């Protein structure tokens, strides 16, 4: 009797192990890295997939290092790659063609980005997000006269922050300038485009100097602890900041925990327009994937409307297809959704894409904007000199990558010029 | 066979070192001196051309210059106290060595909990009515506070390792020397400086070299307390490797750290030179 039990156990165990070994597709993602999101992805999004999937997120650096190592070795265990648009560009040559997947529900503009400038469908859009402004309702009474919350200008934003500073005695504007904060996206996609209409070519123009000077003015009313801030939802909830800028996914907790206390609204506009940066994440299959069919099945599964809504709940990234939102969506989705619609639908909307074609120089590209911030704002170096100096670094990176201009800069032959 | 035995016994460790230390080390040297497959010094020019190199370099040097001497004096004092104890010696040693068991990141976080805007220090000051509202200590305007916090965390974390080595060294010194000096009327201080310290040289050498190497590699504590506000060499290496994806410049930084470590180790070896005949 005993030995029969042992045998049964052994057989069950080996069956479990063998099915696991065959069926699990490794989903290697640079997104949904916070542990709560990872867990939600596993339990609420991917648990419904029949094929079996192991979802493993990593920070962008290690993410790229591992896939590069697998590609270099010519074999690997990664089945599906999940990452931002810009993360895929250095890998374009090593991604399988995904034209076979039915992605007709995704907007053609997004699908075209997934071509990565080649003739093949290198990645399938997965989810999207952007950055918005958020404020505590306490802050609303200090709005400057005549200002429309849904259509602010940078001057009005500065005046608003100044009013609050004066009235409460504390600088109440919060800015994600910590090591993990997304400050570079603010300069690339919001501040500079709003003043110069450009992210790259007009980097050291007079208009750019004006933009940085305006930011210096705003910084006077910014909580100095901002250099330690990463996710602005924490400062909104703690009350350290009443008025903030951040990624929708990094503001969600505030809206979900205290839905009645916070409002979301579009980014301000500058002389050149309302610069803003849509963020697109996609899924790809590396050439080294062992079971490409299983990987493509997983991607199809991720595009189903109910999976897209589950993904939205898990990560606060919005669907890439048209879906009918159920009524019980979290407050963060409703708040951000309205702000995003007002921002992208504004008359002066000026979308600025995430950098394209920079390959593994993306980090250095961001560093140029971060260095400019640290030198101009924190170290108080003269704006003109810093911009001239950083423009050289920017030029070198674009030349080295051979990256042509992307929106909002006008298309260029050859590397995007820095005037 | 007996003659070959020592070499055979050394073989596994040597192989391990070759494969997991010297080979990667060679790769890093090559990496730092090449770019796109060509030999060049561009990685070093880029490194020194970046505006954060100088502050990172000097911050690391200053940290080492302040932390290591303070730790040396503290470790010597602690070791002497432990040595003198008749009872409770191992108990005290155990308490002194507690920080050794804590990872450097955890140590950084512990000190962060003290200095933070909502941390212990602010709470205590507030409770005693010294301040009205929490102040920001670790901000970019007060670089010296971040520096001081790192110094404190480093001293707290890594003094024990020097103490352990020195305690072991003191245990090796025969009591007779000290007793003889006492007979000739040497005071306690004289016995310490003229007898104990010179005989401690080999241990001091080990302790200092080990500690200086660790000081040049300081990273997690600085990250926890200052983020990127207080640049240090190791932090920049990490930054270039993972954030900026430029292995060449990261390798160049690694070479600078290696160069500093070798140079300072040589200085220590030279200063605390122990003649062959005098070695214990």
Q: Write the pLDDT tens digit of every residue in B65-120.
A: 999 999 999 999 999 888 888 888 888 888 888 888 888 888 888 888 888 877 88
Q: Do A360 and B245 touch (CB under 8 A)?
A: yes
What does the alpha-carbon distance between residue A222 and residue A175 come to, in Å, rounded to a whole number?
7
> pLDDT tens digits, chain A, 419 residues: what are they?
455 555 555 555 554 444 444 568 999 999 999 899 999 999 999 998 988 899 999 988 889 889 999 999 998 999 999 998 878 877 888 999 999 998 888 877 678 778 887 889 999 999 988 899 999 999 999 999 988 998 899 999 999 999 999 999 889 999 999 888 899 999 999 999 999 999 999 999 999 999 999 999 999 999 988 888 889 998 999 888 999 999 988 998 899 899 899 999 999 999 999 898 988 899 999 999 999 999 999 999 999 999 999 999 888 888 888 777 788 888 888 888 888 878 877 788 888 888 877 877 888 899 999 999 999 998 889 999 999 999 999 999 999 888 888 878 887 888 999 98
| Cβ–Cβ contact A367 with B under 8 A | yes
C-beta atoms of A224 and B241 within 8 A: no
CA atoms of A258 and A246, how far apart (whole Å): 17
Residues of A in contact with B139 (CB under 8 A): 224-225, 227-228
Q: A415 near A399, Cβ under 8 Å?
A: yes
Choose the closest CB to B227 out of A179, A238, A362. Answer: A179
What's the pTM? 0.74
Q: Chain B residue with minimal CA distance to A62?
A: B242
Are the C-beta atoms of A33 and A57 separated by less than 8 Å? yes
- Residues in B closer than 8 angstroms to A224, CB to CB, are 136, 139-141
Q: Which residues of B touch A376 (CB under 8 A)?
A: none
- Distance from the Cα of A83 to chain B's closest Cα (Å) equals 16
DSSP annotation of A326? P
Domain range summary for chain B, segments of one domain joined by +: 56-230
Chain B positions in Cβ-Cβ contact with residue A361 (cut-off 8 Å): 245
| Residue in A59, A224, A367 closest to B244 by CB | A367
Alpha-carbon distance B14 to nearest alpha carbon in chain A (angstroms): 27
Q: How far apart are CA A67 and CA A286, in angstroms?
A: 8
Question: Which of B136, B242, B246 lies closest to A225 in CB terms?
Answer: B136
Residues of chain A with Cβ-Cβ distance to B141 below 8 Å are 224
The residue of chain A nearest to residue B136, with distances taken between CA atoms, is: A225
pLDDT of residue A204: 93
Asked if A363 and B228 come within 8 Å (Cβ–Cβ), the reply is: no
A61 interaction partners in chain B (CB closer than 8 Å): 241-243, 245
From chain A, pick out residues whose CB is under 8 angstroms from the CB of B242: 59, 61-62, 363
Q: B56-230, superfamily in CATH?
A: MetI-like (1.10.3720.10)
Q: How far is A227 from chain B (nearest CA, A)?
A: 7
Are A224 and B141 an interchain contact pair (Cβ–Cβ within 8 Å)?
yes
Cβ distance B139 to A362 less than 8 Å, yes or no, reads no
Q: Which long-range contacts (CB under 8 A, 24 or more apart) does B259-268 make?
A: B260/B60, B260/B61, B260/B216, B260/B233, B261/B212, B261/B213, B261/B216, B264/B64, B264/B212, B264/B216, B265/B209, B265/B212, B265/B213, B268/B205, B268/B208, B268/B209, B268/B212
Judged by a CB distance cut-off of 8 A, whether residue A179 touches chain B is yes
The minimum CA-CA distance between A169 and chain B, rounded to whole Å, is 12
Chain A residues inside the 8 Å CB shell of B113: none
> Nearest by CB to B227, which of A228, A238, A367?
A228
CB contact under 8 A, B139 and A240: no
- pLDDT tens column, B12-46: 999 999 999 999 999 999 999 998 888 999 999 98
Residues 6+ apart with CB under 8 A from B155: B67, B70, B71, B74
User: Does ipTM exceed 0.90?
Assistant: no
- Residues 189-248 of chain A with CB under 8 A from chain B are 224-225, 227-228, 238, 240
The Cα angle at residue A58 between residues A256 and B53, in degrees rounded to 5: 105
Q: What is the DSSP secondary structure assignment for residue A403, as one 8-state letter? A: P
């Amino acid at each position: 009797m005993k030995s029969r039990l042992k045998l049964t156990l052994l057989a069950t165990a080996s069956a479990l192990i063998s099915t696991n070994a065959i069926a699990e597709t490794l989903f290697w993602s640079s997104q949904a890295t916070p542990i709560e999101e990872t867990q939600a992805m596993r339990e609420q999004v991917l648990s419904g997939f029949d094929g079996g999937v192991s979802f493993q997120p990593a920070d962008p650096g290690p993410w790229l290092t591992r896939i590069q190592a697998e590609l270099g070795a010519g074999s690997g265990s990664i089945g599906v790659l999940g990452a931002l648009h810009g993360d895929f560009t250095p890998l374009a040559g090593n991604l399988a063609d995904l034209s076979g997947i039915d992605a007709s529900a995704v907007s053609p503009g997004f699908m075209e980005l997934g071509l990565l400038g080649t003739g093949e469908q290198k990645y399938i859009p997965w989810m999207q997000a952007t950055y918005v402004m958020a404020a505590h309702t306490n802050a609303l009474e200090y709005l400057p006269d005549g200002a429309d919350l849904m259509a602010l200008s940078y001057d009005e934003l500065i005046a608003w922050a100044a009013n609050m500073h004066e009235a409460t005695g504390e600088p109440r504007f919060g800015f994600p300038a910590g090591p993990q904060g997304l400050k570079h996206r603010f300069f690339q996609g919001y501040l500079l485009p709003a003043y110069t209409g450009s992210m790259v070519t007009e980097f050291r123009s007079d208009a750019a100097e004006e933009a940085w000077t305006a930011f210096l003015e705003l910084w006077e009313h910014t909580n100095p602890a901002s250099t330690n801030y990463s996710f602005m939802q924490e400062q909104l909830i703690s009350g350290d900041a009443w008025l903030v800028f951040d990624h929708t996914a990094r503001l969600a907790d505030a809206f979900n925990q205290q839905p009645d206390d916070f409002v979301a609204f579009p980014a301000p506009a500058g002389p050149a327009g309302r610069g803003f940066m849509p963020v697109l994440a996609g899924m790809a299959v590396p050439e080294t994937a062992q079971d490409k069919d299983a990987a493509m099945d997983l991607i199809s599964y991720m595009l189903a409307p109910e999976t897209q809504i589950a993904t939205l709940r898990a990560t606060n990234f919005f669907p890439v297809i048209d879906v009918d939102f159920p009524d019980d969506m979290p407050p963060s989705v409703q708040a951000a959704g309205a702000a995003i619609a007002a921002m992208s639908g504004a008359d002066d909307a000026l979308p600025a894409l995430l950098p394209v074609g920079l390959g593994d120089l993306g980090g250095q590209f961001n560093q140029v904007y971060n260095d400019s911030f640290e030198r101009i704002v924190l170290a108080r170096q003269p704006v003109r000199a810093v911009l001239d100096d950083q423009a050289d670094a920017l030029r070198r990176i674009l030349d080295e990558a051979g990256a042509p201009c992307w929106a909002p800069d006008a298309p260029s032959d050859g590397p995007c010029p820095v005037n | 066979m007996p003659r070959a035995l020592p070499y055979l016994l050394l073989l596994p460790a040597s192989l391990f070192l070759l494969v997991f230390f010297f080979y990667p080390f060679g790769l890093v040297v090559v990496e730092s001196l090449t770019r796109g497959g060509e030999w060049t010094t561009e990685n070093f020019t880029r490194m020194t051309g970046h505006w954060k190199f100088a502050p990172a370099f000097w911050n690391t040097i200053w940290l080492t210059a302040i932390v290591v001497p303070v730790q040396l004096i503290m470790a010597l004092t602690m070791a002497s106290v432990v040595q003198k104890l008749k009872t409770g010696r191992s108990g005290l040693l155990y308490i002194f060595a507690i920080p050794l068991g804590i990872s450097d990141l955890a140590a950084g976080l512990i000190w962060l909990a003290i200095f933070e805007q909502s941390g212990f220090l602010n709470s205590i000051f507030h409770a005693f009515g010294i301040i009205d509202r929490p102040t920001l200590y670790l901000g970019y305007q007060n670089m010296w506070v971040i520096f001081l916090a790192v110094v404190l965390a480093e001293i707290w974390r890594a003094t024990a390792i020097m103490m352990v080595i020195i305690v072991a060294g003191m245990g090796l010194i025969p009591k007779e020397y000290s007793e003889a000096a006492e007979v000739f009327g040497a005071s306690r201080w004289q016995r310490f400086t003229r007898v104990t310290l010179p005989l401690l040289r080999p241990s001091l050498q080990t302790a200092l070299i080990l500690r200086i190497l660790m000081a040049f590699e300081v990273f997690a504590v600085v990250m926890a307390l200052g983020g990127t506000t207080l640049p240090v060499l190791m932090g920049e290496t990490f930054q270039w490797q993972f954030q900026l994806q430029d292995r060449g410049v990261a390798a160049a930084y690694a070479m600078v750290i290696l160069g500093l470590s070798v140079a300072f180790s040589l200085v220590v070896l030279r200063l605390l030179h122990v003649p062959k005949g005098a070695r214990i």
